[in-house]
Amino acid sequence: MVRSLIDRIRHRFEASVAEVGDQDLLKTRLIGIAVVSEGTRHASEIMDRIVEYAESQMFEADIIDIEREVIDLD
């Protein structure tokens, strides 16, 4: 289920997505997602759409926590 969701997010949003932690725990997964955009506002909008999409695709799982970091190079 996680691998399929990761692949769908990658292709639908052209984002970098990987399972980055909690792999030893049977029922917990930690997924990292990165996007590159021309501005912080646009990057935040893309991340919002990714989260909405992920929530709509996960019928047997819940998103427990979301952490965001925006790096502005201007």
Q: What's residue 15's pLDDT?
A: 96
Q: Which residues of the chain have pLDDT under 70?
A: 22-26
Q: Which of 68, 30, 31 is nearest to 46 (CA)?
A: 68
* Pairing state between β 16-21 and 30-34: antiparallel
Other CB atoms closer than 10 Å to residue 8's CB: what's the count?
A: 14
Q: What's residue 46's pLDDT?
A: 96
Look up tokens 């999409």; give the residue: 53
